[in-house]
Structure 1
Amino acid sequence: MKRVSQLTALALLCGLASFSSLAADMPNAMTLSQLQAQHGTPVDTRPSAFYNGWPQTFRAPSGHEPAALNLAAAWLDSMSDEQLALWAKNHQLTPATAIALYGDDRDNQAVKARLEKAGYRHVSLLSDALQTPGRLQRLPHFEQLVYPEWIHRLQQGERITAAPSADWKIIEAGWGAPKFYLLGHIPGAGYIDTNEVESEPLWNKVSDDKLKAMLEKHGIRHDTTVILYGRDVYAAARVAQIMLYAGVKDVRLLDGGWKAWSDSGLLVQGGVPGPVKPAPDFGAPIPGQPQLMVDMEQARGMLHRQNASLVSIRSWPEFIGETSGYSYIKPKGEIAGARWGHAGSDATHMEDFHNPDGTMRSADDIAAQWKRWNILPEQHVAFYCGTGWRASETFMYARAMGWKNVAVYDGGWYEWSSHPQNPIISGERGPESAL
């Protein structure tokens, strides 16, 4: 037998003591098959990036256990007791449900304590978690939603999963002058004003010629990997969606936006954007993916169909016509025949799609709320909102979820409501109104 140093022995003993303590606190540690036999629920206590599919280390398992819910320990400080109760209710958890946790020991303990405080007494450890890679599930395109440490490792030249295949850029997107960017941004990041990609009177995307000139000015070719983030996720998503339409092949979002980077404790840089060497040419025809945008006539043709959904990403008060949602959009109401895709409490929030830390909610949760309104992955789906920002965020999520035929109706409610001949509806209604 090999000799073991005192330090190694101590570490092993501490590890065994930690596991023993954890097992003592969670007396009914069980395997996934045992949990399934009790009709129980596995709960992943790791950050959503790892739940979605990013491996925690370069060759670590990728994804989450089948039917697992994500309740990251890092969210707990942001969740009130009422919010935790709603999370449990939405996932049909009761005090009688068998729950098995997996993730970091400390995270498991924190989640266990919070669940027990809320009245859940059958909380144990999933003993064989992440040990069978073939059964793990993940977002089909988890790599399109990056996380802070991945960006940091990319900048440091470390070996990473889903690394860019060629040149790459990190860019912050926001409306107007970069006033917040000047105070602090991701080191080396550029800046794009959303006014460079959309314009009045309806805030639709700029012409293809202007789009080409903008991309070249920022040194972006069709084969450049662009990693976007924003103080508001939907600002970055708006730019990302338009870049994909233009033909940039690899566009990614920092999941959770600037808040995710700020909360990570990684280095922050202040000051003006550095000089950018323009690209001599975009290198491909624009638009490269015209199908990612639909116009008003195409949107009208998607109404009241079983194989298509025109999806409103607007708050419920906007959808039923209580408010337009915008100071500069006067008409209230909704496109008659559109399906409600959820959004948030008002025109500037997207709580229905976010975890407590602002990252993307689980794909299963999003798909379930869409399914209730007959919005299905096999359909041709076009999202819209007031002017395109919220719609673009959901487009990016659907794309990460593997939905293959998704687009944005660029004109949205602003354009639709400016044409009196377009059908409009108001009032409380359910999914049957769009059939």
Structure 2
Amino acid sequence: MKKTILVFCFILLTLCLVSGNILAEYQTSEIVESEDMILIDSRSSYSYNGWAIDGKVGGHIPGAVLFSTKWLENLETNQAIKNELNRFNIVKNKELYVYGDNSDTLVDKLNELGYKSSQIEVDLKEYDNLAQMENFEMLVPPVWLNEKIKADQVFVLEASWGDQSEYLKGHIPGSVHINTDAIEEGPIWNRKSDEEIIKSLGQHGINKEQTVVVYSVADTTPAARLASILKYAGVNDVRILDGNLKAWNAAGYELETEKVEVEPVDFGAKKVENPEYIIDLKEAKKAYDNPNSDFIDVRSPEEFRGETTGYDYIPKAGRIKGAIYGYGGKNAYDMSDYRNPDNTMISYTFMESRWLEQSVEAENQNNFYCGTGWRASEVWFYALALGWDNVSVYDGGWFEWSENKQPVVKE
């Protein structure tokens, strides 16, 4: 993790006690580095990433750690809160300074749990050097999506595997359901042919010039899988509703249950326009021999070590020889290493710092892989949001690689 950067006025300006918390009023952007302090941003991940919501400033003070007060609603026990704090390296032997929405609530909880925490007042409008995720617009908040739906400025897709039963229970108004079988097929579960993909997208009413927002009911991976195909095919503006349907419901917006019918349209391209975004075995073998190319494994630790294959239809366990562990989740159906307690994308600063610690370098060509492509698509999308350009999804993943006598290792 980068050294924590704290506002210089923490030390210099007059402090006053209010309800047991320290409040500091200041108008300076001078900063000081300290190993003994942590600055915490208690706002939503949307605001932290860069979204200006409700007229407020988007972005965060450089060096601030995200820990949203709203996450307390998702963490049912004090131990769960402590576990999450520990995950983000928020520890008891450091002074914690908290700013942002409902920071007093978070400070009270931190102090109750034995942390040394103080609340500070920050006017972010006074800062001209706020940090933000380079392409934060790729992960949208519910409030933005709701406004765009009302203005008829987005095309919304709900992605899932299988029938429309969940979709018909309640979906975002105007959203069109797409079964992932429309874009991929077994037994390896690679994407369909380019011609089939372009035809299928057009049949679902998608034109490449639209702003397309994709979401899933809960798990992000179906939405990410579809998003990767959309960008591969050439849709110019693809976004994911960060937090999925759960975030939409939490924001208090209505659902509808009637199926949305669409007229087929011309996709707007005769061939895929971004073939470099998804590679197959042929390209993967070339990438493997390139010293400036890395394979990033985003499966569970047990899959990476070869203790399990993750899926009953994948017979062999292990990993691509030389692959870098890029974090994943508890099992083949979990991506908690990349999720906040409210299911939004984990803090991008935390994600990037962990990659760098693993020697995953933005300058290299990074090929993300999992079992068959879904989990890799999610992490790949996040990498694009970070501004990492040299990234691809190895579509066949471990399943295809292990079945084709390629270099592997098993601990």
**TM-score of the pair, normalised by structure 2:** 0.90
Cα distance in structure 2, aligned partners of 1:217 and 1:72: 41
Name the SS for the 2:22 alignment partner.
coil
* Equivalent in the alignment of 2:81: 84
Letter in 2 for 1:423: P
Alignment match of 1:23 (pick from 18, 22, 28): 18
- In structure 2, C-alpha distance between the alignment counterparts of 1:266 and 1:323, rounded to whole Å: 41
- Say whether residues 1:265 and 2:282 are aligned partners: no
Alignment of 1:237 with 2:224, yes or no, is yes
Matching residue of 1:352: 337
Provide Cα deviations, 1:22-75, integer angstroms capped at 9, x if missing partner: 8343235265768736553221111111111100135x4221111111111110
Q: Residue 303 of structure 1 contacts residue 338 of structure 1 at CA under 8 Å; is this kept in 2? A: no
**Which residue among 115, 118, 122 is the counterpart of 1:128?**
122
Asked if the contact 1:312–1:342 (Cα under 8 Å) also holds between the matched residues in 2, the reply is yes
Q: 1:339–1:111: structure 2 CA closer, same or farther, 3 Å change rule? A: same
Q: 2:119 corresponds to which letter in structure 1?
A: S
1:323 is matched with which residue? 308
Percent of residue pairs bearing the same amino acid type: 36
Q: 2:369 aligns with which of 379, 384, 395?
A: 384
Amino acid at match of 1:236: A
Going from structure 1 to structure 2, the CA distance change for 1:91 and 1:30 (only over 3 Å counts) comes to farther
Q: Which amino acid aligns with 2:230?
A: M
Q: 2:112 is matched with which residue?
A: 117
Query: 1:189 — aligned with what?
Result: 175
Letter in 1 for 2:137: E
Name the structure 1 match of 2:9.
Answer: none
Aligned to 1:179: 165
Give the match for residue 426 of structure 1: 410
Instruction: Please tell me the residue identity of whatever aligns with 1:155.
Output: I
Structure having the larger proportion of residues in strand: 2
In the aligned structure 2, how far is the partner of 1:87 from the partner of 1:244?
A: 33
Query: Which of the pair has more CA radius of gyration?
Result: 1
Task: Say if 1:417 and 1:146 are closer, same or farther in 2 by CA, change over 3 A.
Answer: same
Distance 2:159 2:16 in 1: 47
Per the alignment, residue 7 of structure 2 pairs with: none
Of 51, 62, 67, the residue aligned with 2:63 is 67
Cα drift, residue 110 of structure 1: 1.2
Q: Could you say which residue in structure 2 is the equivalent of 1:292?
A: 277
CA contact (8 A) 2:100 2:122 kept: no
CA contact (8 A) 1:22 1:109 kept: no
Match of 2:150 in 1: 156
- CA shift in 2, pair 1:96/1:338, >3 Å: closer
User: 2:47–2:57: 8 Å Cα contact kept in structure 1?
Assistant: no
State the one-letter code of the partner of 2:234. G
Coordinate RMSD, CA, aligned = 2.1
User: Secondary structure of 2:288's partner?
Assistant: coil
The residue that corresponds to 1:102 in the other structure is 99
Residue type at the aligned position of 2:81: L
Q: Does 1:221 align with 2:207?
A: yes
Instruction: Supply the distance in 2 between the matched residues of 1:38 and 1:129 (Cα, whole angstroms).
Output: 21
The answer for the alignment partner of 1:252 in structure 2 is 239
Tell me how far apart the structure 1 counterparts of residues 52 and 333 of structure 2 sit (CA, whole Å).
Answer: 33
1:294 Cα deviation from its structure 2 partner: 1.4
TM-score (norm 1): 0.85
SS across alignment from 1:366: helix
CA distance in 2: counterparts of 1:322 and 1:312, whole angstroms: 15
Matching residue of 1:410:
395
- Shift of the 187–167 alpha-carbon distance from structure 1 to 2, 3 Å rule, reads closer
In 2: Cα distance, 1:191 partner to 1:221 partner: 16
Is 1:46 aligned to 2:31, yes or no? no
1-structure distance, mates of 2:244, 2:174: 16
Distance 1:151 1:22, change over 3 A: farther
**Aligned pairs, number:** 393
- Distance in 2 (alpha carbons) for counterparts of 1:22 and 1:44: 20
Give yes or no for contact 1:241–1:392 (8 Å, CA) kept in 2: yes
Segment drifting more, 352-361 vs 26-35: 26-35
Contact 1:228 1:252 in 2 (8 A): yes
